[in-house]
Chains A and B, each alone.
Chain A
Amino acid sequence: MYIEVEDVSIKYRQKGKEFQALDHVSLSVEKGEFVCLLGSSGCGKTTLLHAVAGFAKTTEGQVTIGGKRVEGSDMRHVMIFQNYGLLPWRTVQKNVELGLESKKMPKQQRGEIAERYLDMVGLANFKNHHPHQLSGGMQQRVAIARALAVKPEILFMDEPFGALDAITRMKLQDDVRRLSTEEKKTILFVAHDIEEAVILADRVVVMTPNPGRIKSIVNIRLGHMRDRTSDEFIMARDKIFEIFHMKTERAVEYYI
């Protein structure tokens, strides 16, 4: 397995009280797989993502990627944040070049790569804008271009579309789904809602809070092209609703 989360627990001390964010969580992710983490707030989904990304330290257990223990953040595994994390004083293009600067790449080459990825997310005409001049959806596209520009193996996404309106969110979901098949990135994604998880994931990891644990893992076998209105989609979604005990059983009456 590519990403191995082995019996990880994470405890925080908050105002003298100990808080168990994750309780003996184990998870394996294959290369190229799209995995969504889903659960109510406090279930530790973000903590788990940040532990795999190297932003949070594990209290017990360990995380390995490609057999190597995760000890810090690395450019091969890029995180996409809900509030985009774009640098407001840089232009769109300079934002995309941020990671390339660390690679000590010549200026011209940086510019070419940045333009290529901005073109890919459909923002080639906005390269000289500042982030605040763009809509939320466009800003998140810039963040995605910035992440892809450094050719990462894994994308971590922390409710990346949580702050966007419903239509923009669906559009970006489709884009990310396409990206995962075309670019063959491994993606670990904290989902905002059940629909999002079902439209995106190969597997959905359902978590429960207090303490944060994995309740069950659901395989979504819908293929690459997914349709929000298809019966398969609705059935897969219902399955997850059932896990959350949110589906009311009732006899269906028919009027003809």
Chain B
Amino acid sequence: MLRSLKRTVLSFAAFILIWQAAVAFGDFNPALFPKPQKVLEAFQELISTGLQGSSSGISLFAHIQASLARFFAGYVLAVVFGVVLGLLLGWFPRVFAYVNPVIQLLRPIAPVAWLPFIVLWIGIGDVPAVAIIFIAGFFPVLLSTAGAVSSVDPVFLKVAENFNLSQFRTVAGIVFLAAFPQIANSLHLALSTFWIFLVSGEMVGAQSGLGFLVMDAKNCIRADALLAAMITIGGLGVLLDFLIGRLEKWVSNTWGFGIVKYEKERGR
């Protein structure tokens, strides 16, 4: 724990030092490549008043709040629909065989490519950014859930059959829970891409949020604020990743995969 903290601090210190050196010794336009201190000042500005000269005039926290709200809305929608449909399609493989060709066609379409279509339909606002996350997450979650269902240990199904569990109880109480570690893993993988897609969604279809802030700062030719927004995006991505990692650990502990135990034995 202490060692990893030391590594983190040293890593950031080196990063800032190299940045500072690059600004000091390189011959860059300071408006385009600001030094770390400028970015820190931009942070203060964003937090207290919001970006100067911007059309929206809301603070960084309001942007973060808007982004996170969209993020969770899109995430929850994608997870609920993806998992429920994935369970059903995994449980009824014959139906899945008919649905799968269409899924395979829709899946490779980049979520960003949906965006103009969605903006045409609904206009800008919260919906496009939420929709883009939904699209980005729905297909991977659906497919990995269906895959997890088909790889559930058949002994669980036999036990369910033997003890006269209803079809609903078998799917909700056995299959879902047996597949859950694998599903949770896919939710973790999806999460980091969700965050990426949210930002790109907000860059086009929103009037608030971190993606919008990035575009806003660019339009105001404020490289320092732009970098501050980017760092915020990265930091929040790390935080979200950490939180779902904790959830995953709890799952693997409860389900008995002993991953945590193994890590403890290796020592930190």
Give Cα A78–Cα B163 distance, bound, in whole angstroms. Answer: 8
Q: Is the interface of B mostly helix, strand, loop or mixed?
A: helix
CB of B256 within 8 A of CB of A75, answer no
Binds B, one of A58-66, A130-138, A209-217: A130-138
Give Cα A77–Cα B161 distance, bound, in whole angstroms. Answer: 11
CB of B256 within 8 A of CB of A74, answer no
Interface size of B as a range: 20 to 34
CB of B158 within 8 A of CB of A73, answer yes
Select from chain A the residue with minimum beta-carbon distance to B159: A85
Question: Using Cβ atoms and an 8 Å threshold, which residues of chain A touch B164?
Answer: 73-75, 99, 102
Q: Is the interface of A mostly helix, strand, loop or mixed?
A: loop
Contact of B161 among A72, A132, A150 (CB under 8 A): A72
CB of A88 within 8 A of CB of B161, answer no
What's the nearest-Cβ distance from chain B to residue A225, in Å? 31
Give Cα A7–Cα B258 distance, bound, in whole angstroms. Answer: 48
Question: Using Cβ atoms and an 8 Å threshold, which residues of chain B touch A130?
Answer: 254, 256
Question: Using Cβ atoms and an 8 Å threshold, which residues of chain A touch B254?
Answer: 89, 130
CB of A75 within 8 A of CB of B162, answer yes
- A70-84: CB near B (< 8 Å → 1, else 0) gives 001111011101010
Q: A98-B163, A150-B163 are in contact. Are A89 and B156 (CB under 8 A)?
A: no
A87, CB-defined interface residue at 8 Å: yes
Most buried by A among B164, B177, B254, B255: B164
CB of B163 within 8 A of CB of A132, answer no
Question: Using Cβ atoms and an 8 Å threshold, which residues of chain A touch B178?
Answer: 87, 89
Question: Using Cβ atoms and an 8 Å threshold, which residues of chain B touch A2?
Answer: none
Question: Using Cβ atoms and an 8 Å threshold, which residues of chain A touch B230?
Answer: none
A55, CB-defined interface residue at 8 Å: yes
Select from chain A the residue with minimum beta-carbon distance to B177: A89
Select from chain B the residue with minimum beta-carbon distance to A79: B162
Most buried by A among B158, B177, B178, B257: B158
Contact of B162 among A73, A87, A131, A132 (CB under 8 A): A73
B120, CB-defined interface residue at 8 Å: no
Chain A contacts with B in 78-135, Cβ cutoff 8 A: 78-79, 81, 83, 85, 87-89, 98-99, 102, 130-133
Most buried by A among B159, B174, B255: B159
CB of A79 within 8 A of CB of B158, answer yes
B155, CB-defined interface residue at 8 Å: yes
CB of A102 within 8 A of CB of B158, answer no
Select from chain A the residue with minimum beta-carbon distance to B257: A132
CB of A132 within 8 A of CB of B258, answer yes
Question: Using Cβ atoms and an 8 Å threshold, which residues of chain B touch A87?
Answer: 156, 159, 174, 177-178
Give Cα A89–Cα B254 distance, bound, in whole angstroms. Answer: 6
Give Cα A85–Cα B257 distance, bound, in whole angstroms. Answer: 15
Give Cα A131–Cα B257 distance, bound, in whole angstroms. Answer: 11
- B248-264: CB near A (< 8 Å → 1, else 0) gives 00000011111000000
Most buried by A among B153, B161, B180: B161
Question: Using Cβ atoms and an 8 Å threshold, which residues of chain B touch A98?
Answer: 159, 163, 165
Give Cα A78–Cα B178 distance, bound, in whole angstroms. Answer: 21
Question: Using Cβ atoms and an 8 Å threshold, which residues of chain B touch A99?
Answer: 162-164
Q: A55-B161, A98-B163, A102-B163 are in contact. Are A85 and B177 (CB under 8 A)?
A: no
Most buried by A among B156, B163, B165, B166: B163
CB of A81 within 8 A of CB of B165, answer no
Question: Using Cβ atoms and an 8 Å threshold, which residues of chain B touch A77?
Answer: 162
Question: Using Cβ atoms and an 8 Å threshold, which residues of chain B touch A150?
Answer: 163
Question: Using Cβ atoms and an 8 Å threshold, which residues of chain A touch B255?
Answer: 88-89
Give Cα A83–Cα B162 distance, bound, in whole angstroms. Answer: 15
Chain B contacts with A in 149-178, Cβ cutoff 8 A: 153, 155-156, 158-159, 161-166, 169, 174, 177-178
Select from chain A the residue with minimum beta-carbon distance to B258: A132
Give Cα A78–Cα B159 distance, bound, in whole angstroms. Answer: 9
CB of A102 within 8 A of CB of B155, answer no
Give Cα A74–Cα B165 distance, bound, in whole angstroms. Answer: 10
Contact of A83 among B155, B161, B256, B258 (CB under 8 A): B155
Give Cα A78–Cα B254 distance, bound, in whole angstroms. Answer: 27
A-B contact pairs, 19 of them (CB 8 A): A55-B158, A72-B161, A73-B162, A73-B164, A74-B162, A75-B163, A75-B164, A77-B162, A79-B158, A83-B153, A83-B155, A85-B158, A87-B177, A88-B256, A98-B165, A99-B162, A102-B164, A130-B254, A150-B163
Listed from nearest, the 3 A-B pairs whose CB atoms lie closest are: A132-B256, A99-B163, A85-B155
A-B contacts besides A78-B163, A89-B254, A150-B163, 6 pairs, CB < 8 Å: A73-B158, A78-B162, A79-B162, A87-B178, A89-B256, A130-B254
